[in-house]
Amino acid sequence: MSARLIATFLLGGIAAVDATPVAQTLLSQPLFTATILGALWGNLTLALEVGIVLQIMAASTLPVGARTPEDYAVGGVVGAGVALALGSQQPFEVSRNAGAMLGALAGMIGAVLGVPLIKWQRRRNEGLSRWCEDALARGDEGALAAAQWAGVALAFATGVCLTAVLVGGALRGLTWLAAHESLRLARAWTLAQPLWIGLGLAQLLNSFVQRRLTRAALFGISLLAGWLVLMMGSP
Amino acid sequence: MTEGRLSRRDRWRMAMRAALLQATWNYERQQGLGWAWALKPALDRFYPDAERRRSRLTEHTAYFNTQPTLASLALGAVAGLEERRAAGEPIDSAAVARVKSALGSSLAALGDRLFWLTLRPVAACVGLVFAISGRWFGALAMWACYNWIHLGLRFAGVEWGYREGPDVLGTPLRARLEELVRGLSALGAALVGLIVATVLVPGGEPRPMVFQAALAGGLVLGMLTAQRARPSPTEWALGIGMLCIVAGWMR
């Protein structure tokens, strides 16, 4: 197994830890992890293409209320990891787009599959919590620290394992597809990429605008101004 | 009885430990264990007697949940309350629990809107503006944009909570945070416009008509689906991905 794959799995663990148990500093966001993976695998363009799609989907997925949101921390690493690993085996531009298509899909599937694992961790933490309270009652104050770090270790191990299983499984199952059906997959990417970006941006816009006319006007003005500047060149 | 006031170092340690508030998040106590762990430096200071300290620690492992960044404000406020309690003021466990509960729910209501619904998407948009233009530092811009508020409030929050007590979320701070939410939402709307423009004309070269039409289709579909919670955006995106693969095969 290559060192880059191992580093990808470890990044899955780090992302899982940053997402909820420790600090929540956005190191776990797909754009961040994709940039790191792009530098690691030496293909920043491909990593960013997948990272942008997954980041837009992640930004429109909100951890509020009782709903457990999709796990884009691990999903982001899986998506960029699969795309880069598949892309590294293919010499042509078309195969690169095929890798992006499969990577983005793998990332979203990884994000969905991460939800039951997050719920499982939370149930494991219930046991940890009860153990800690019993230990505290017995006079062991160190149990608090032990429980905290056990929670972090559990999240890290779960992130590493889920990333390894999904990236490994995708490489085993999709390498042939990416190599032999790259044209069809590239066509699918040409269509899916703008649709995904549009879908996610509309969700974001809806949450920002909240039916306020001034914010909708701001969106329109910045779109028009940005488009004009980019088309005509800056004054 | 008491070892006096919390030192700056104690407050710093509490803020550092608040980073692990959700390390053992669970369905029964939610952030309870993390809360007790973060508050421990204060309890160590106020209760040198191990028996009393353990009793207070056990109380604080009870159910608690709020938005994790703004939890620092509640931590500081409750540490101040524990200080007064240790000094002999008539504050019982039920009073501490009431303050925790009241602060927890009001901080959650404000914090969810500020961090999850506004700041995080805005930071993502800042990063995306650069990343779509092919610049590697988009991720760094996103990280910096989010963390100057997130980490700033996490560290300053304990200080403010300790100084202001249970009234920490009084009118001035609440008004400032509400204003921040409104300003960030307007900025977010403008950034989405800029992202759409950058996606349509990357580097001054307009994208092909198929791309532009698909982007417009995605925007319309997104606007329609945003009115309902289910299916989630990811479920819609997976469906779209499958359809595109089928379309790629048939063309």
What average pLDDT does this structure show over B245-251?
88
In sign, the C-alpha dihedral spanning B20, A14, B192, B234 is negative
Q: Do A201 and B220 touch (CB under 8 A)?
A: no
Q: Tell me the nearest-neighbour CA distance from B15 into chain A, angstroms.
A: 11
Q: Tell me the nearest-neighbour CA distance from B145 into chain A, angstroms.
A: 10
pLDDT given for residue A235 in this prediction? 54
ipTM of the complex: 0.94
Residues of A in contact with B212 (CB under 8 A): 194
Instruction: Determine contact, residues B207/B141, Cβ cutoff 8 Å.
Output: no
Residue A14 in any domain: the answer is yes
Q: Among B68, B101, B134, identify where a domain stops.
A: B101
Residue A192 in any domain: the answer is no
Cα distance between residue B21 and residue B13, in whole Å: 13
Tell me which chain A residue has its CA closest to the CA of residue B141: A32
Residues of A in contact with B218 (CB under 8 A): 194-202
Q: Tell me the nearest-neighbour CA distance from A200 into chain B, angstroms.
A: 7
Percent of the residues in chain B that have a pLDDT greater than 70, as a whole number: 98
Q: Among B101, B130, B156, identify where a domain stops.
A: B101
In sign, the C-alpha dihedral spanning A104, A105, A109, A112 is positive
Residue A123 in any domain: the answer is yes
Residue B235 in any domain: the answer is yes
In sign, the C-alpha dihedral spanning A10, A90, B200, A231 is positive
Residues of A in contact with B55 (CB under 8 A): none
Residue A215 in any domain: the answer is no
pLDDT given for residue B105 in this prediction? 95
pLDDT given for residue B114 in this prediction? 95
Phi, psi angles (nearest 5°) of residue B93: -60, -40
User: Which among A20, A54, A197 is the top mutation candidate for probing chain B, defined by the most B β-carbons within 10 Å of its own β-carbon?
Assistant: A197
- Is pLDDT at A96 greater than 90 in this prediction? no
Residues of A in contact with B116 (CB under 8 A): 62-64
Compute the CA torsion angle A56, A58, A60, A61 (nearest 10 deg).
170
Residue B112 in any domain: the answer is no
Tell me which chain B residue has its CA closest to the CA of residue A72: B234
Q: Among B101, B129, B156, identify where a domain stops.
A: B101
Higher pLDDT, B231 or A36: A36
- When divided into structural domains, chain A yields a total of 1
Residue A193 in any domain: the answer is no
Q: What is the per-residue pLDDT across A46-59, written as a single tens digit (0 to 9) for each? A: 999 999 999 999 99
Residue B136 in any domain: the answer is no
Q: What is the pTM of this model?
A: 0.95
- Is pLDDT at A25 greater than 90 in this prediction? yes
DSSP state, A69?
P
pLDDT given for residue A62 in this prediction? 75
Residue A208 has its nearest CB partner, among B185, B196, B201, at B185
pLDDT given for residue B3 in this prediction? 58
Residue A72 in any domain: the answer is yes
Q: Do B193 and A221 touch (CB under 8 A)?
A: yes
Tell me which chain A residue has its CA closest to the CA of residue B23: A21
Residue A199 has its nearest CB partner, among B69, B218, B229, at B218
Domain, as residue range, for A46: 3-180
Q: Is A216 exposed, middle or buried, given 0-12, 13-18 or 19+ CB atoms closer than 10 A?
A: middle
Residue B97 in any domain: the answer is yes
Residue A202 in any domain: the answer is no
Q: Do B121 and A60 touch (CB under 8 A)?
A: yes
User: Which among B13, B21, B26 is the top mutation candidate for probing chain A, defined by the most A β-carbons within 10 Å of its own β-carbon?
Assistant: B26
Q: Do A219 and B210 touch (CB under 8 A)?
A: no
Q: Tell me the nearest-neighbour CA distance from B124 into chain A, angstroms.
A: 7
Burial B137-165 (b: 16+ CB within 10 A, else e): ebbebbbebbbebbeebbbebbbbbbebb
Span of A15-24, B142-151, B171-180, B190-199 with lowest mean pLDDT: B171-180
Residue B201 in any domain: the answer is no
Residue A26 has its nearest CB partner, among B123, B132, B221, at B123
- Is pLDDT at B5 greater than 90 in this prediction? no
Q: What is the per-residue pLDDT across B65-104, written as a single tens digit (0 to 9) for each? A: 999 999 999 999 999 999 999 999 999 999 999 999 999 9
pLDDT band per the 50, 70, 90 thresholds, residue B1: very low
- Is pLDDT at B2 greater than 60 in this prediction? no
* Chain centroid, CA A99 distance in Å: 16
pLDDT given for residue A232 in this prediction? 87
Q: Collect all residues with Cβ–Cβ distance below 8 Å to B172 and sequence separation of at least 6.
A: none
Residues of A in contact with B248 (CB under 8 A): 184-189, 191
- Is pLDDT at B110 greater than 60 in this prediction? yes
Instruction: Output the CA–CA distances (angstroms, integers) from residue B174 to B26, B158, B169, B180, B224, in the order listed.
Output: 29, 16, 6, 10, 33
Instruction: Output the CA–CA distances (angstroms, integers) from residue B2 to A62, B45, B47, B77, B82, in the order listed.
Output: 43, 8, 6, 18, 10
Residues of B in contact with A97 (CB under 8 A): none
Residues of A in contact with B237 (CB under 8 A): 57, 108, 196, 199-200
Percent of the residues in chain A that have a pLDDT greater than 90, as a whole number: 86
Q: Give the CA count within 13 Å in the CB-facing half-sphere of B145.
A: 24
Residue B185 in any domain: the answer is no
Q: Do B54 and A48 touch (CB under 8 A)?
A: no
Q: Tell me the nearest-neighbour CA distance from A46 into chain B, angstroms.
A: 10
Helices (H), chain B: 8-18, 32-46, 50-60, 71-86, 93-111, 120-132, 138-164, 171-200, 209-225, 233-250
Residue B234 has its nearest CB partner, among A39, A48, A111, at A111
Domain, as residue range, for B236: 207-251
Residue B153 in any domain: the answer is no
- When divided into structural domains, chain B yields a total of 2
CA angle B226, B231, B232 (to 5 degrees): 65
Residue A110 in any domain: the answer is yes
Q: What is the per-residue pLDDT across A118-157, written as a single tens digit (0 to 9) for each? A: 999 999 999 999 999 999 999 999 999 999 999 999 999 9
